[in-house]
A and B are shown apart, each in its own frame.
Chain A
Amino acid sequence: MKRKELGNEYTTALIAVGLGLLAGALLMLVTGNNPILGFIYLFSGGLMNIERIGNTLATATPLIFTGLSVAFAFKTGLFNIGGAGQMLIGGLCATVVGLTFAWPKPLLLPVVILAAALGGALWGLVPGLLKAKFNVHEVVCAIMMNWIAYWSVYYIIPGYFKGPYLETESRRISAAASLKVEWLTKLFNGSYINLGFFLALAVVIIIAYILDRTTLGYELKAVGFNRYASEYAGIKAERNIILSMVIAGACAGLGGASFYVGYASNMQIGVLPSQGFDGMAVSLLGANSPWGVFLAAIFFGILHSGKGFMNAMTHVPPEIADTIIATIIYFSATSVLIEKYRARIRKRRLEKGRTDLPLDTGAGLDETVGGEG
């Protein structure tokens, strides 16, 4: 039953992807390009050699984290729109730790990662706490937290960690504080891939395990499905709401580490990371399940890292890839409609072969029954 339903959700996601690609193809046609060629270059741009695969995974890594963050909060019935701020603050914490301590890598890197997770967790704690105690809507609160993170970076980076050339970015972190490791970069022929990807994979496994197998996951999902019944059963809904936002924030915070001290090696001010918001799309397409999120993030990673190559090889503008992503999000968001349509087709198939039998035979019935009573 469970598996069947999950399969159902994946099918819907695949239909959304298919429709998105179709829309992209139409756009390419309309702009006078060959869609088949466009797609070939789009996908080979993301996958054609080991270096590009590495880049695709590196691009996908923050998305896995932010997608998980949104999905996890969603399981408890919360909408975490604060992924961007949590990611930013996680990145800030990681950068600060990385630039402050000159410890050896085996010691420094875990502390950097931990700092990122704690920073994100703190940024999730605030909306969670306010939601649980005062019923402040988590969306409103998280959006404001995004801006607090934005301006905090704006203040802290130029003030204390200014780079040598530009006012608007931090110093570069040392190799000891970076998730990038030489052997991995070499293995992927110099790509951006870093340890963040494996960290993301581990977190996917942990989150899936928590949700499916533990009493904690049971409680969180129970509160998300039906808060009243959970309270009736003695589950403390407030505690779970806070915890859910804290864990979601920590996920996004780790995403910050993977981006700012993995993919990049310094922080710029004045940017809310778009990955924070893309996490919502990833979660939506991944049907809010950890492995769904993983696959969706990698798919988005392919599109993101392939669009430049497509643009170089054809006249298709790179914005087409963004349009495809946008369309896919659109179709995932309206997946209810897709579901309905599929249900209708199923029903029609069921009814086929037995419709049309009655109606006219019914017309003659009144004579046989009329005299009764």
Chain B
Amino acid sequence: MDYVVEMLKIRKEFPGVVANDDITLQLKQGEIHALLGENGAGKSTLMSILFGLYQPDQGVIKVRGQEVNIADPNVANTLGIGMVHQHFKLVHNFTVTENIMLGMEMTKGIVIDHRAAAKKIQQLSEKYGLNVDPNAKIEDISVGMQQRVEIMKMLYRDAEVLIFDEPTSVLTPQEVNDLMEIMRNLVQEGKSIILITHKLKEIKAIAHRCTVIRRGRMIGTVEVGSTSEEKMAQMMVGREISFEVEKEDREAGAVVLKVDNLSALNNRKVMGLKDFSLEVRSGEILGLAGVDGNGQNELVEVITGLRKAESGQVMLKGTDITNLSIRERIRMGMAYIPADRHKHGLILDYSIEENMILKNYNQEPYAEKGLLNQEAIQEHTGRVMAEFDVRSGQGSIALARSLSGGNQQKAIVGREIDSDPDLLIAVQPTRGLDVGAIEYIHKRIVEQRDKGKAVLLVSLELDEILSLSDRIAVITNGELIGIVEAKETNEQEIGLMMAGVQRGETA
């Protein structure tokens, strides 16, 4: 067999954890090989070893049959191994060409030969169907285009093996399709691809083979064509997983949140939210779909009071709350699971106990006459941790920083739901979590809806929106494109709306 890359019996230990144990991954020439696993399963460690960032404790790496020692990323580069990182590493005020040649500039005498570089980029662009304008500035092009620049960077360096790290997490559904087309072109031209992902659909759509790892151990390598999604999910998680969120039909009740012609500035001081109107009723989940950075944050921050409204109104249970303080809104029954759990959701240097009372530390029974009541806080924390399955090695006094991402998120979800709100705003509630934790958090959110709470769900994951929501609102460029019934729509329609196409405009 001719394998381009072979990682054989790789073992890597960090103090206290075995990140990779006896993992073998063999990449054939011209195949797309998926690497599937939950967060923390050891995917990144394995790829970091291949890319030269870590040295394996045991095991062998072979490239084109030759045993190699990849001491650092430069060695990986010369071996033709390139990586498209999840977070792009681009200079924003440089052009595409400048970014691509950064670090290996072509020179003519002592000046940089932009023209020759641009020409090579143009050629590569045409060969692989990338459609990149070499002279555009990074800050002016879309995220999908930026990703292509990253891909181009590797091709420019003559990479033969390309590692894609969760490449679709930042893309719209249409951009995902384009990316898959590009990946197909790449393998047709003889490149080989390792695709790191936890999205089974994508694996099914594009990969040839799939290696599954779980908790640092290799579960197996399967042919994608003859393996079902359920089977792969089961391999990944180690038990059966239901993809369908169980949800009974339910009549929505009274309007809990009403947003009227709301406009707000974004961080760059231009209108990020324009004349936005929305209603969320009790007993329903309203999903807000949209590509990242299209006004979702502005909307949520105005509703929660973190951002000032320029015009328009926010009503909670019939009361105008547009100018109320954040705390007053919280007291009125608004709970908010923020997108960024490290920036907004938790104080990482506080213990779990202290984080659990973040919003009601000055209320009885947690505080009396300005003094904290440790016992009440401890008891409360213990109860929420038990109810929401927050696991920590040192119990409730562990620093929030020491928890895993999933447990941090469960702690936030627990704190917010436990406050028994009338309105629950959940932004990206499952970002970066593994399948098990996602399933759990989804269940708790649906449970809130069934209890008659109003839920506003903001997510970049279309699957999440589609499976949880009763109604779906789509936001583009700060404007409401439309609201559809979740039962009567599909990914295609929402995807088009996300791209700014009004409903009914397409054939």
Question: A residues near B, CB below 8 A?
Answer: 1-2, 213-216, 218-219, 221-222, 225-226, 228-236, 347, 350-351, 358-359, 361-363, 365-366, 369-370, 372-373
Residue of A with least CB distance to B338:
A232
Residue numbers in B under 8 Å from A230 (CB-CB): 347
Residue numbers in A under 8 Å from B350 (CB-CB): 221-222, 225
Given the known inter-chain contacts A229-B343, A233-B358, A363-B60, please indicate yes or no for A218 contacting B397, CB distance below 8 A.
no
CA distance A363 to B349 in the complex (A): 44
Residue numbers in A under 8 Å from B347 (CB-CB): 222, 225-226, 229-230
CA distance A230 to B42 in the complex (A): 34
B270 is an interface residue with CB less than 8 A from chain A: no
Residue of A with least CB distance to B16:
A350
Residue numbers in B under 8 Å from A347 (CB-CB): 15
Residue numbers in A under 8 Å from B351 (CB-CB): 1-2
Q: Which 9 A-B pairs have the closest CB atoms?
A: A234-B327, A358-B58, A234-B326, A232-B344, A233-B358, A362-B58, A215-B362, A225-B349, A226-B347
CA distance A361 to B8 in the complex (A): 13
Q: What's the minimum C-beta distance from A287 to chain B, rounded to whole angstroms?
A: 14
Given the known inter-chain contacts A2-B351, A358-B11, please indicate yes or no for A215 contacting B59, CB distance below 8 A.
no
**Complex partner residue of A365 from B60, B349, B371, CB under 8 angstroms:** B60
Residue of B with least CB distance to A351:
B15
B361 touches A218 (CB 8 A): yes
Residue numbers in A under 8 Å from B358 (CB-CB): 222, 229, 233
**Complex partner residue of B59 from A2, A225, A235, A365, CB under 8 angstroms:** A365
A362 touches B370 (CB 8 A): no
Among A219, A222, A229, A369, the one with the most B-chain Cβ atoms within 10 Å of its Cβ is A229
Among A231, A233, A236, A359, the one with the most B-chain Cβ atoms within 10 Å of its Cβ is A233
Residue numbers in A under 8 Å from B345 (CB-CB): 229, 232
CA distance A234 to B344 in the complex (A): 11
Given the known inter-chain contacts A215-B362, A222-B358, please indicate yes or no for A228 contacting B344, CB distance below 8 A.
yes
Residue numbers in A under 8 Å from B9 (CB-CB): 362, 365, 369
A215 touches B371 (CB 8 A): yes
Residue of A with least CB distance to B354:
A218
Residue of B with least CB distance to A363:
B60
Chain B interface category by residue count: 35 or more
B399 is an interface residue with CB less than 8 A from chain A: yes
Report B322-353 residues with CB < 8 Å from chain A CB.
325-330, 336, 338, 343-351
A216 touches B330 (CB 8 A): no
Report B37-86 residues with CB < 8 Å from chain A CB.
56-60, 62, 67
CA distance A230 to B338 in the complex (A): 13
15 interchain pairs, CB-CB under 8 A: A1-B394, A214-B370, A215-B361, A218-B354, A218-B361, A225-B350, A226-B347, A226-B348, A228-B343, A229-B345, A361-B58, A362-B58, A363-B60, A365-B8, A373-B3
B15 touches A373 (CB 8 A): no
Residue of B with least CB distance to A234:
B327
As a 0/1 sequence over residues 305 to 336 of chain B, the CB contacts with chain A under 8 angstroms (1 = contact) are 01000000000000000000111111000001
B180 is an interface residue with CB less than 8 A from chain A: no
Residue numbers in B under 8 Å from A359 (CB-CB): 57-58
Q: What's the minimum C-beta distance from B86 to chain A, rounded to whole angstroms?
A: 23
Residue numbers in A under 8 Å from B501 (CB-CB): none
Q: What's the minimum C-beta distance from B64 to chain A, rounded to whole angstroms?
A: 14
Q: What's the minimum C-beta distance from B218 to chain A, rounded to whole angstroms?
A: 11
Residue numbers in B under 8 Å from A362 (CB-CB): 9, 56, 58-60
CA distance A216 to B361 in the complex (A): 10
Task: List 4 other contacts, CB 8 Å, given A232-B344, A235-B327.
Answer: A232-B336, A233-B359, A358-B57, A372-B24
CA distance A216 to B362 in the complex (A): 9
CA distance A372 to B398 in the complex (A): 45
Q: What's the minimum C-beta distance from B271 to chain A, rounded to whole angstroms?
A: 23
Residue of A with least CB distance to B62:
A366
Residue numbers in B under 8 Å from A236 (CB-CB): 325
Given the known inter-chain contacts A231-B306, A231-B326, A362-B60, please indicate yes or no for A369 contacting B24, CB distance below 8 A.
yes
Q: What's the minimum C-beta distance from A137 to chain B, rounded to whole angstroms?
A: 21
Residue of A with least CB distance to B345:
A229
A1 touches B399 (CB 8 A): yes
Residue numbers in B under 8 Å from A226 (CB-CB): 343, 346-349
Residue numbers in A under 8 Å from B349 (CB-CB): 225-226
Residue numbers in A under 8 Å from B169 (CB-CB): none
Residue numbers in B under 8 Å from A232 (CB-CB): 304, 306, 326, 336, 338, 344-345
B367 touches A215 (CB 8 A): yes
Q: What's the minimum C-beta distance from A229 to chain B, rounded to whole angstroms?
A: 5
Among B325, B338, B358, the one with the most A-chain Cβ atoms within 10 Å of its Cβ is B358
CA distance A351 to B56 in the complex (A): 15
Among A230, A235, A351, A362, the one with the most B-chain Cβ atoms within 10 Å of its Cβ is A362
**Complex partner residue of B60 from A222, A231, A235, A366, CB under 8 angstroms:** A366
B372 is an interface residue with CB less than 8 A from chain A: yes
Residue numbers in B under 8 Å from A373 (CB-CB): 1, 3, 26, 221
Residue of A with least CB distance to B25:
A373
Q: What's the minimum C-beta distance from B322 to chain A, rounded to whole angstroms?
A: 16
Residue of A with least CB distance to B399:
A1
Residue numbers in B under 8 Å from A215 (CB-CB): 361-362, 367, 370-372
**Complex partner residue of A234 from B15, B325, B398, CB under 8 angstroms:** B325
Q: What's the minimum C-beta distance from B38 to chain A, rounded to whole angstroms?
A: 24
Residue numbers in A under 8 Å from B3 (CB-CB): 373
Residue numbers in A under 8 Å from B367 (CB-CB): 215
B26 touches A372 (CB 8 A): yes
**Complex partner residue of B398 from A1, A361, A366, CB under 8 angstroms:** A1
A213 touches B371 (CB 8 A): yes
Q: What's the minimum C-beta distance from A209 to chain B, rounded to whole angstroms?
A: 9
Residue of B with least CB distance to A365:
B9
Given the known inter-chain contacts A1-B394, A366-B60, please indicate yes or no for A234 contacting B221, CB distance below 8 A.
no
CA distance A235 to B336 in the complex (A): 15
**Complex partner residue of B397 from A2, A234, A350, CB under 8 angstroms:** A2
Residue numbers in A under 8 Å from B399 (CB-CB): 1
Residue numbers in A under 8 Å from B338 (CB-CB): 232
Residue of A with least CB distance to B27:
A373
CA distance A111 to B306 in the complex (A): 43
Given the known inter-chain contacts A1-B398, A2-B351, please indicate yes or no for A214 contacting B372, CB distance below 8 A.
yes
Q: What's the minimum C-beta distance from B383 to chain A, rounded to whole angstroms?
A: 20
**Complex partner residue of B372 from A213, A235, A351, A370, CB under 8 angstroms:** A213
Q: What's the minimum C-beta distance from A225 to chain B, rounded to whole angstroms?
A: 5
CA distance A5 to B378 in the complex (A): 20
CA distance A216 to B371 in the complex (A): 8
CA distance A214 to B361 in the complex (A): 10
Report B355-410 residues with CB < 8 Å from chain A CB.
358-359, 361-362, 367, 370-372, 394, 397-399
